[in-house]
Every structure is written in C-alpha cells, then in structure tokens.
Structure 1
Amino acid sequence: MTRFRLADLTLFEQVVLAVSFVLFGVYVLDPFFLERSKALAPEARNFLRSITDIGRSNWMLIPAGSLVALALVLRRTHRGFRNAAGYGLIASTIGFVFVSVGGAGLIGNLTKYILGRARPKLFDTLGPFDFQLFSFDPDHASFPSGHATNIFALATVLGMLWPRGKVLLYTVAVWIAASRVLIGQHYFTDALGGAILGTAFPYLVRERFAARRWLFEPAPQGGYRLRGERTRNWLGWPGTSRPETAPGKARLFRNSRPDSLGIEGD
C-alpha cells in the first residue's frame, strides 16, 4: 500500500491544500466555536476564565530571566570546575526556556499587530475574515493567540527536557488554548495558529543550541538529546542506563516498571 506523504505533493498542491484548510477553519470552524462559546453555562465560563491567564508570558519569562542572571553570576563567583559546570547547565537550561518562550511570544505579538485580524467580539459587524494591517489596535490583534503561543512553547520546551511528561504538559496547553476560544477572546484558528507557532519555534531554538553544544547534542540514533547521561537519567529519559543510586542520593524520576513513572527519594 502506498503511503501518503505531504512532501510528495507539488508546491501548487500543497498551497491549494493549505488555503483550503485555512478557509474551512475561518468560515466553518471559527463561527461554529464562537456559537458554542456563547452557549456555555456560566459555571463553565467562570472555570475557563480562572485558568486562561496561565497562558500569560509574565510568570514564565520574568523568573526565567532572573534565574539565568543569577546562575551566570554564581558561575563566575564560585571557584571550581564542577561548580562552574553545574551553574552553566542551570543557566543554559533556563536560557533555553527563556529564548524559546520569549522568542515565540515576540513573533506572535508582531504577527498579530501586523495582520490586524478583528477579534470575535466584532464578528457580527465585520465577520471572521476582517484584517486591518498594521492597525496596532487591541481589537484587531486576534491572530495568533498569544496565550496559546506561550503555553505551547512552554509545554514543548519542558517536554524536550522531560519527555515522559509530554502528555500532561500538552493536555494543560490544550486546555489553556481552548479557554481563549471558549470565553470568546479568540477564534479557533487563532488558537491553532498560536499552538503551531509555540510548538515549532522551540525546535528551531534547540537546533541552534545543539549546533553550539549548549544543553543539547546530536543523538547517535538521530535527532537531539540532553548533554550528560547523568542529567538524562535523572530526568527519566528513555534509553538511559539506570545505575544504582548512592545512599543519600535521589533521582527525580525513575521507572519502577517499564510502563510506569515513579518518584524516588529518601
């Protein structure tokens, strides 16, 4: 049986397919989910409003930037190779989070103000496909959703560091992105666009980090992995060796059986 691959399509066919998906999303899915949001029970709306601001970037970037600065200062003031290496690892890890989430968010904000798509509250007068380029008006800053961009970027970054947590991380991200649609702040395609941007950008950052051997390195079987077997083992990466833990020491994550995730401590 022949396997379908998008790469096998011609450029024209790919463009036609992409435009078709966009138009279907804008003219069919966006109005549908907007009507569903208006029909939500007050209790459901209140719940979604209570979780939606988890997608704001402030609580992600401010602590991350502060911790990077602190780790760099400690690396310079604490003598010894092991201390310098440890603080360097901390700085590069948090720096990866900061650059990935902040960079995705910056691109998302620039895009939304350049495109100037009208928000759902203007749907009755302007429809789902109204754009005012370079308007810099909050009412015309709908695509992509900043909350969806930020939370998917964070979920992707943390999923790269802790692969076994991807299901949990992306579940939370989907809830946050969906909340923006269901409380009427964004269209479905806004949240989808933010999710795509937030997921894709950290992979580009990881590639640049790995090229400089910052935090990541090429894996023997292809792709990338965290540098340092001890770090991978501590985070429960698949395929790492599992030496016995020394007395008084603990790994954060350990499989007690092949399909389970445990937490080991004293």
Structure 2
Amino acid sequence: MRYFTLCEQAVLALSLLAIGFLLIDPFMLERAGRLSDSACDFFKFVTDLGRSHWMLFPTAAILVFAIVMRRRHLGFRNEAAYGLMISATGFAFVSIAGAGLVAVLLKNILGRARPKLFDTVGHFDFQFFAFESDYVSIPSGHATSIFAFAAVIGIFWPRGRLLLYTLAAWIALSRVLIGVHYFTDAVLGAILGISFPFLVRDRFAARRWLFEYAPGGGYRLRAPRVQAWLNWPEAVRRSQAHTGQAAAGRPSRPVSFDGRLRGA
C-alpha cells in the first residue's frame, strides 16, 4: 500500500485549508446568522463547556492533593496509588494546559480577524502579532481545550472515544454557530487539541511515566488494574501477560493501543 509523501500530505492539507477559508467559512457564518434566538441561546450555553477552567482547576487540585498525601502516607501501596494519581492528573494537566497555551500563542501570532469584522475586513484578514482581542480568531481556544480534554479521557478510556469526540465536535461547532469563530478556526483548534495529548503521551511513554510502549507498537497504561477498571479491551490487558511470556522465551502476539491483535 502506497502512503502519501510528506510533500503530498502538505499539498492536500493546504488545499483543504484553502477550501475551508474560501468556501466553508463564509457559508457557515451566513448560516449562523440565520439561527433563531432560542438556538443561539442554546449554543451560547453549550459553548461555555469548552472553557478550560473547569478542566484545569480540579485537575490541579487533585494533583496537589496527591503530592501532599504521598509525602504524608508512606508505604509501598500508598506510594504506588498516589504515584499513579500524580501521573494521571499530571498527564491531563500538561496535555490540556499545554494545548491551550499553544493555541493562545498561535492566536496572537497569526492575528486573524474575528467574524464580527467580516463586513469591514472580510474573512481572510491577518494582522500578525496584533495582540488585540479582535484579532485572535484562529485557532479556537475552546475547540482546542475541549478536544484536548476528549483526547485525554479517550486515551484512558478508549471505548468512549466516539462519544467524547462527538460531544467535543458539537461544543467546538457552537463557537461557529454563535458567530465568534470561523469554521476553520474550530477545525484547526480541534486538530491541535487532539494532537497535543498524544505528543505528551509519547514523551511520558519514553520515560515510562504512566504509559509504556506495547509489544509490537502502540502504547498502554502501565497499571493492569486500572486498565480493567477503565474497561480496556481484553486483548490489551492480556498483553501484560504476553510480555512476561516473551521475556521467558515464549512468543507473544503484538497488540496495538486500540486493543486489536496485529496480524489477526
């Protein structure tokens, strides 16, 4: 099977982005302006779910709590339990906060005009390094945060990914439907929000923090009991035992992150 080269991928991505800018953005803005008042009120309520405060503050509080309790309650079991809590909440905090920070930096560097300026400057006006509230449209911070949150929870709970990403998509779309972002703003925010936690997971796995590389490729949590509690696919949990068998000289079947046996 032939895969796209990096150059071909870049051309395809730029083409899709151009289509979004030239066709989809003005169309979605026009359709958003035709929504009823009740629909606008509903999406204004939905859009607040994309704020990062309710994701980061509890996560930071749990992280601090676990660090304090780990120092006060010594013992192998307590240390392991609080260590797992610290790793999990640390991963979530770094993923969501990091994605949000990158979004803020990109917003101010790119300086795309918000939709409310469409009638005066159009939808393709960029003021690089403007650092003005009217020129921080791309990427959508709400879309970035909610998709980062969905990616983090989806990494821990793979069976819930469809539901999580569907909810995140509606929350991101609400930014478009209430007229504060263009469609491409939300899409690029979603891409950033999804990508960043997976980059963080890779860095964690390289250091064997919370995650590790699975046999034959992919990633998995280092705690089998947590896998069972999160209802991970049985094939992934069996791979823990397979690792031990491989170490003893018995062959094991490689398992990918999503729980499918490779080569099956």
Q: TM-score, normalised by structure 2?
A: 0.87
Offset from partner CA, 1:129-168 (integer Å, 9 cap, x none): 1011111101000000000000000000000001111111
Q: Are residues 15 and 207 of structure 1, via their aligned partners in 2, closer, same or farther at CA, if it must alter by over 3 Å?
A: closer
Distance 1:186 1:4 in 2: 37
For the residue of structure 1 that corresponds to 2:212, the secondary structure is strand
The Cα of 1:222 is off from its aligned counterpart by: 1.5
Please tell me whether residue 183 in structure 1 is matched to residue 181 in structure 2: no
For the residue of structure 2 that corresponds to 1:225, the secondary structure is strand
Q: How many aligned residue pairs are there?
A: 236
The Cα of 1:212 is off from its aligned counterpart by: 1.0
| Mapping for residues 12-51 of structure 1, pairs under 5 Å | 13-51=8-46
Q: 1:64 is matched with which residue? A: 59
Amino acid at match of 2:25: D
Amino acid at match of 1:15: A
Q: 1:203 is matched with which residue? A: 198
| Mapping for residues 27-176 of structure 1, pairs under 5 Å | 27-176=22-171
Amino acid at match of 1:28: L
Amino acid at match of 1:55: G
For the residue of structure 2 that corresponds to 1:217, the secondary structure is strand
Distance 2:97 2:216 in 1: 30
For the residue of structure 1 that corresponds to 2:10, the secondary structure is helix
The ranges of structure 1 where at least 4 consecutive aligned residues each deviate by more than 4 angstroms after the TM superposition are none
For the residue of structure 2 that corresponds to 1:72, the secondary structure is helix
The Cα of 1:122 is off from its aligned counterpart by: 0.5
Amino acid at match of 1:79: L
The Cα of 1:6 is off from its aligned counterpart by: 2.2
Distance 1:145 1:205 in 2: 20
Amino acid at match of 2:108: Y
Q: Calculate percent identity across the aligned residue pairs.
A: 59
Segments of structure 1 that go 5 or more residues without pairing to the other structure are 242-266
Q: 1:231 is matched with which residue? A: 226
Segments of structure 2 that go 5 or more residues without pairing to the other structure are 239-264
The Cα of 1:4 is off from its aligned counterpart by: 5.5
The Cα of 1:63 is off from its aligned counterpart by: 1.3
